Amino acid sequence: MLIYLRIIKESFNFAINALKNNKLRTFLSLVGVTIGIFSIIAILAAVDSLKKEIEGSMSGLDNSTIIIMRFSFGPTDVPRWKWQQFPDVTYDEYQYVKRNMPNLEAASFALNVPQDNIKFEENTVSNVQVGAITHEYYEIEALKLQEGRFFNESESNSGTPVIVLGDEIANNLFGSSAQAMGKKVRLYGRRFTVIGVLEKEGKGIFGNSKDTVVLIPANMARKIFGNNNKNTFPQIIVKPEKGVDNGEFVAMLKQKMRLSRGLKPDDIDTFFINQLQGFTDFIDNITGQMNIMGLIISGFSLLVGGFGIANIMFVSVKERTNLIGIQKSLGAKNKFILLQFLFEAVILAVIGGLIGLFLVFIVSILASQFTGDFEFVLSPWNMFIGTAISAAIGLISGILPAISASKLDPVEAIRTGM
């Protein structure tokens, strides 16, 4: 064990001396590894950060959440002209699903209502995004309140003009220190009573945030826009109980919807059951492809870096031929010489990799500063991958020079040095 520690120490010293004595040559050799590691880890970190941001924006919704509507989230075999004729889901169908669907944790009805200006006395916030939902949505998305409460079942069913505000909306209307509860605001030409304010969330990468959203009962929106407004895109949002088989649940849900609509066995479904799990799988697939493409592109830089490391090691073997001969004449075995040069190659490559990781770290800090709410994350796992790849490049690049050094004849090596 001690001899291996000595080899590592001597190899490290040789590598540092190579850096000091041949600065330009070593720099040019390590540039390829540094750029390659920088490229790979920067891409992996960027994709991971993007994925984390997307998942964060959906964090309130469980992957098992299902949305029923007349549109599909993804590609469909149903022709466009046909699904455009599908009827919207209705409030009655939402109640039917809620009453008859087994293993159901919660079901909510939602409308996609237009943006509007919200007013309080002289203060106005323009183009506010409005969520028209039933009271169960509070459980489905696990909303968190900063103050007040969410509208209850009675207010939801009767369409009481109550409203829950996002943090930014509340601050713009009442100021950061003012009490929002009980205040009357004006929206869609109606007066709403503020009963709650959501916790501050911060903006996502796509600018989406509940801080700039207001929530009202869906039945209040139905009073304003009617039941046959095609622009409101009604949805039934369903969350199954935990542990339920997803396939069986979706099949049962489809059967209940078909029964509700009186569809015959040979009729196609006139609705789409969209699963968030499918959307997250789609995101995983896209980010996986991005990672693969990034690795392929960055691999060319690593290939150049590998040739650079191999070149500097061959030169190092030639320069130290006399020293290798002396070591062998004093009893050094071929394995000792082999490991010495292998360690040196790995150490040189790891140094290049660490420089690349440091550059990614600096870029991640700058990127997070300039992009505001988007956090560019360099994870420990990506740092480990960068270090492992650079060590592997050093090992592969150094194997041939190390073998050539270990096979030198001691007499010929000493004579060459003389």
At a CB cut-off of 8 Å and minimum separation 6, what does 214 contact?
118, 128, 129, 130, 131, 163, 164, 165, 166, 169, 187
Which one, of 237, 285, 298, lies nearest residue 101 by Cα?
Answer: 237
Helix (H) or strand (E) holding 28: helix 23-57
Residue carrying structure tokens 């592969």: 396
CA–CA dist 397, 375 (Å, integer): 36
Residue type, 127: N
Sign of CA dihedral 257, 258, 261, 262: negative
List all residues 6 or more positions away from 240 whose beta carbon is below 8 Å from its beta carbon: 64, 66, 103, 104, 105, 246, 249
Q: Which pLDDT score, from 0 to 100, does residue 92 have?
A: 92
- Smallest Cα–Cα separation from 184: which of 171, 193, 172? 193
The two three-digit tokens of residue 101, written as one number: 């669907």
Please say if the pLDDT value at position 298 is more than 70.
no
Which tokens go with 30?
Answer: 């390590």
- Residue percentage of the chain with pLDDT more than 70: 80
Greater pLDDT, 68 or 37: 68
Greatest pairwise CA separation for the chain in angstroms = 101
pLDDT for residue 205: 44
β-strand pairing of 145-148 with 272-275: unpaired
Contact 329/414 with Cβ under 8 angstroms?
Answer: yes
Phi, psi (deg, nearest 5) at residue 209: -165, 145
- Say yes or no to pLDDT of 417 above 60: no
Closest by CA position to 347, among listed 6, 28, 10, 12: 12
Pairing of strands 162-165, 190-198: parallel
The CA-based dihedral angle spanning residues 206, 208, 212, 214, taken in that order and rounded to the nearest 10 degrees: 150
Who contacts 87 (Cβ-Cβ below 8 Å, separation ≥6)?
Answer: 70, 261, 270
pLDDT band at residue 62 using 50, 70 and 90 as cut-offs = low
Q: In whole angstroms, what is the distance from residue 283 CA to residue 369 CA?
A: 26
Most confident of 98-107, 170-179, 318-327: 98-107
Look up residue 58 and give its DSSP letter. Answer: T
Please report the pLDDT score of residue 15 as a whole number: 62
Reading the block at residue 294, the tokens are: 């990034």
pTM passes above 0.85: no
CA 360 – CA 358 distance, rounded (Å):
5
Contact yes or no for 180/173 (Cβ under 8 A): yes
* pLDDT surpassing 50 at residue 207: no
